[in-house]
Amino acid sequence: MVYDTIIIGSGAAGLSAGLYAVRYKLKTLIIKGDFGGETARAGVIWNYPGVIGIDGYELMKTMQKQAKDGGAEIVSGKATKITNSAVKRPDLSKQDPEVGAQNAGCYEVEVCEKKYTSKSIIFAVGTERGHLNLPNEAELTSKGVHYCFTCDSPLYADKVVAVVGAGDAALKGALLAAAYCKKIVILVRGDKARAEPVTLEQVLALPNVEILYNTEVKEIIGTDKLEKIILTKEYNGSAEFVLDGLFIEIGARPNNSLAIPLGAELDETGYLKTDPMMHTNVPGFFAAGDTVNLFGHFKQDVTAAALGSVAATSAYQYVQKHPNVCELHALEHNK
């Protein structure tokens, strides 16, 4: 069986792409991987348009149902390899320079020792958030431990939180949270922050924000919710810091390993390069969501979903232009 498009990823970008793809009547396969991505672990989301407060996992289940009800096939498992049966087609270059200029052909995706074939790929695997890798961190995620200021800082109105991170994203997150929180303590591992000077100046000017340098989180303590953290040095006379919330912002790594062997170009930070319509430099290979850096550090469910819809539109246009690309290459290989 040959699919029109295979979507790798089942977060906001992948499921949005799936919904749009089936609306375009594309034969669509969604490979789940880590279902829902970061959104499924985000707790209650208050800033998704049209929905007043919804658990992230439930939002992803709803989006999955929309795609499935529209006709998308969904398989569980993680994609482990993407290959392209591409050969040069000089004859096609006269018809379409896009195809003739580079290798283009059928894509094959391996999942749990099974192989699926498609005319196009929508790559929406997102990023891997930086974690402290401490005991209790995973168990208390969304129960006091968070990774998204925009999503979760409004939950901590008039409460005390700590922020782990020294970069611009961490300090800008603290600026956002400062509008809600009674007290914010930024924990910096080294002896200086790496944020832009203007961001640091803004943080230092806030009366409810404090920076502790050369300080790390040693333990995260709590049963049903976060209760306190243990620091590597004393704060206000004790290494125990009782608080309401802990925000971890120590960077994220784009999951690009499956795209690199195809020759997909990356930007200087490792994200896939795309044009505004989500085309990569590889014909028939589109990217969406947090795996691209179109909006810089601003990565939200609403932007991911938007990029997924754009990628599906481009995949539709590509398949319309090259409906027989798999058959052409099958004939070429059988000569």
pLDDT at position 328? 54
Write the pLDDT tens digit of every residue in 198-218: 889 999 999 999 999 999 999
Write the pLDDT tens digit of every residue in 219-240: 999 999 999 999 999 999 999 9
Q: Is 308 exposed, middle or buried (0-12, 13-18, 19+ CB in 10 A)?
A: buried
Q: Are residues 177 and 155 in the same domain?
A: yes
Contact 6, 119 (CB under 8 A): no
Q: Are residues 120 and 187 in the same domain?
A: no
Write the pLDDT tens digit of every residue in 134-183: 999 999 998 999 988 877 889 999 999 999 999 888 898 899 899 999 99
Residue ranges making up the domain that contains 63: 2-128+252-333
Q: Enter the pTM of the model.
A: 0.71
Of 193, 221, 248, the last residue of a domain is 248
Q: Are residues 118 and 258 in the same domain?
A: yes
For residue 14, give the nearest of 125, 127, 121 by alpha carbon.
Answer: 125
Here the CATH number for the domain that contains residue 7 is 3.50.50.60
Percent of the chain with pLDDT over 90: 65
Write the pLDDT tens digit of every residue in 15-67: 999 999 999 999 999 999 888 887 876 667 888 899 888 888 899 999 999 99
Number of domains the chain contains? 2
Write the pLDDT tens digit of every residue in 277-286: 999 999 999 9
pLDDT at position 88? 42
Q: Are residues 287 and 242 in the same domain?
A: no
Tell me how far apart the alpha carbons of residues 7 and 116 are, in angstroms, rounded to a whole number.
11
Of 214, 229, 248, the last residue of a domain is 248
Q: Is 137 helix (H, G, I), strand (E, B) or coil?
A: coil
Tell me how far apart the alpha carbons of residues 227 and 118 are, in angstroms, rounded to a whole number.
49
Q: Are residues 241 and 320 in the same domain?
A: no
Backbone angles phi, psi at 322, to 5 degrees: -130, 60
Whose tokens are 């290798």? That residue is 103
Q: Are residues 26 and 76 in the same domain?
A: yes
Q: Are residues 156 and 236 in the same domain?
A: yes
Whose tokens are 């939200």? That residue is 300
Q: Are residues 160 and 296 in the same domain?
A: no
Tell me how far apart the alpha carbons of residues 323 and 327 are, in angstroms, rounded to a whole number.
9
